[in-house]
Structure 1
Amino acid sequence: MPGSRTDYFLTRLSASLSGTNMPAGLKYAETAAGRVHVFDTANEPGNEASPTDRPSIVFTPDGPNVVAHYRRLIALLTPHFRVVCFDMPGFGFSLPAADYRHSLEQGARTVLAVLDQLGIARATLAFSCANGLYAIRAAQLAPTRIASLMLSQTPSLSAMQAWAYRMIPRPLRVPVAGQFITWLARRKLAQLWYRSALPAETDDKPFQQLGRQSFDAGGCFCLASVVQGLLRETVLMTNPAPLTIPCTLIWGEQDRSHRVTQPETLREHLPQLEIRRFADCGHFPDLEQPERYAREIVAHMEKIAADTVSC
């Protein structure tokens, strides 16, 4: 596990170099994959009355996005749901453990550990890109815990692996070397990624600014490790039984990084998949069009509730 140990060292070096820049008041959940930064509306002032009685929706930012990128979307959804948003290990303010290899198994168990620590018995997972594969594996491992999936820019595992070979430079796919390159060039890589992932006419400055603030405060961006973990992965292929839980996939059609990726490939794992296309969005439809995305997720949750009652 030389790559994961390299990240363990480098992420802690970044945190130590940030000094007093770390935001105050961050809350964490302890997991085997490391201490995970979690935002939970149930812990926010004014929400004490009955937030835990509402359906729970859990988000994970797609790096270099962090929890702070989700403020607007969280505000839109808070009147209806208990909303949780946490940085996966190796991203944002969730420093990874030395043996965290970004496998789907480890990622899924991290998701379930966060639910356990927050006392959430059942939740909808609203994940994006590679994180959506962690959500699928979590639903395989604990089907009674995952009510439904609301994914964005997540194709099948094989399609994601083809995307990684096509989009990620070969040096980043090499253990240890990739980790050092990513750490040294994390600001430039994030800048280039936003330019590629967002539509050409979209102003990327708000995305870039929050990303820079995270880096200034010691935030992680373990891109090489998540790619290397993804390319080693076979679990969804060796456990091919498709899931029957409800899933909506939001797909941004202006995502230049996924221009040849077919969202329909996700039906390999989720045959009941419903696809909603955002014609004017890129890689982050939930953040680019939060009001429209919020309407989609409310409709998704209402349909789940209606189906549950009819059963």
Structure 2
Amino acid sequence: MAFDSDNARTAIRMPRGQVLGSRLDSWLTARTARRRGGGASSADFDLVETSGGTVRLFDSRTVGPVVVLVPDGPNVIEHYDGLVPKLGESCRVVCFDMPGFGFSRPSKHYTHSLDDGAAVVLDVLDHLQIPRATLAFSCANGFYALRAATLAPDRIAGLVLSQTPSIDSMHAWTDRTIPKPLRVPVLGHGLGWFLREKAALGWYAAALPRTTDAAPFRHVAKTALQQGACFCLAGVVQGLTREPSGALGAVDQPCTLVWGGSDRSHRHTDPTSLRETLPRAELIAFDHCGHFPDLEDAEQFAELVKERVAAHQAS
């Protein structure tokens, strides 16, 4: 067996609890996939091997500038059935779940760190031979988009980030919102896995406005979970909690911040906090939307993204 020096160095640097937690998530997700068989490769979806695990993705394969979408768990690719066709009118659309979410299985070394997540994004672009793309990510996934933009500035034309605050604001949100047991290595990974359906379906009550029917969101998420989808909440919470204040560097690419003003889970979060890192970023409010403005108002969001993509291409 070949010696993987990169993984060996990663294991040495990481605390033992972090190593064991990542391995537990990998084992649990693989075991569930074997038992339930969901998320297999098909005519509509591909399975791609990346540095962070096996990623399930959709590629419209249409002609045009590329837009990459990543669902904010517990949402999965299927939640984007309404948005993808709208963007596909003028763009090539790639949509994939990050490792540990949807039907993307994390490797035993994947820690949900900024570097790990950014590497997966760039691995997907490499696999699809996409030289340049606009990333339209949301919430914590926006941090991976930002890190990818700093690591490979020539590959990222621009960013559209929904519900992504600063690292410090995300830490404060975690302290307010995430139960302490989920923040404990190994214990949190195991507990989060066994409570994943309850946590996922309950999340929509806090994330969506009271006037929005959560049933369609819950139905898609529940169907995916029952088929073996991942929802490694503890893993991503712990991975990003370890990132220090100031971990995000400034990016040169144009960036649009979209903020759902009716997101009760972020009612104490400053929607402008990421401007500490991105002072030139524009902020556009979707006051009628909650945590998922890209899904709650797919029509308006698609028009915004298409306008920004055209501007990114022109620049």
Which band: TM-score by shorter chain? over 0.9
CA RMSD of aligned residues (A): 1.3
Where do residues 1-150 of structure 1 align in structure 2 (5 Å cutoff)? 1-19=19-37, 21-22=38-39, 25=42, 26-42=45-61, 47=62, 51=63, 54-150=64-160
The CA deviation at 1:304 is: 2.5
Residue type matched to 1:280 in 2?
H
Counterpart in the other structure of 1:250: 258
The CA deviation at 1:16 is: 2.0
CA contact (8 A) 2:39 2:56 kept: no
Residue type matched to 1:12 in 2?
A
The match for 2:176 among 150, 166, 170 is: 166
Where do residues 165-184 of structure 1 align in structure 2 (5 Å cutoff)? 165-184=175-194
The match for 2:284 among 250, 260, 276 is: 276
What TM-score do you get using the length of structure 1 for normalisation?
A: 0.92
Counterpart in the other structure of 1:304: 312
CA contact (8 A) 1:6 1:176 kept: yes
The CA deviation at 1:284 is: 0.1
Matches of 2:233 and 2:39, distance apart in 1: 21
Counterpart in the other structure of 1:259: 267
Matches of 1:92 and 1:22, distance apart in 2: 8
The CA deviation at 1:239 is: 6.0
CA contact (8 A) 1:244 1:271 kept: no
SS in 2 for 1:248: strand
| 5+ residue gaps, structure 1 | none
CA contact (8 A) 1:179 1:225 kept: yes
The match for 2:206 among 196, 205, 210 is: 196
SS in 1 for 2:105: coil
Residue type matched to 2:25 in 1?
D
Matches of 1:146 and 1:239, distance apart in 2: 16
User: Quick check: 1:151 aligned with 2:169?
Assistant: no
The CA deviation at 1:17 is: 2.2
User: Quick check: 1:237 aligned with 2:246?
Assistant: yes
The CA deviation at 1:157 is: 1.0
SS in 1 for 2:157: strand
Matches of 1:178 and 1:127, distance apart in 2: 25
| Structure-2 change in CA distance of 1:110 and 1:184 (3 Å) | same
| Structure-2 change in CA distance of 1:4 and 1:254 (3 Å) | same
Matches of 1:103 and 1:137, distance apart in 2: 10
| 5+ residue gaps, structure 2 | 1-18
Matches of 1:133 and 1:33, distance apart in 2: 16
Matches of 1:191 and 1:41, distance apart in 2: 29
The CA deviation at 1:23 is: 5.3
The CA deviation at 1:14 is: 1.5
CA contact (8 A) 1:11 1:220 kept: yes
Matches of 2:257 and 2:139, distance apart in 1: 10
Counterpart in the other structure of 2:293: 285
The answer to which of 61-70 and 6-15 deviates more is 6-15
Matches of 1:238 and 1:62, distance apart in 2: 21
SS in 2 for 1:201: coil
CA contact (8 A) 1:244 1:272 kept: no
Residue type matched to 2:232 in 1?
C
The CA deviation at 1:32 is: 1.2
- 4+ aligned runs moved over 3 Å, structure 1: 21-24
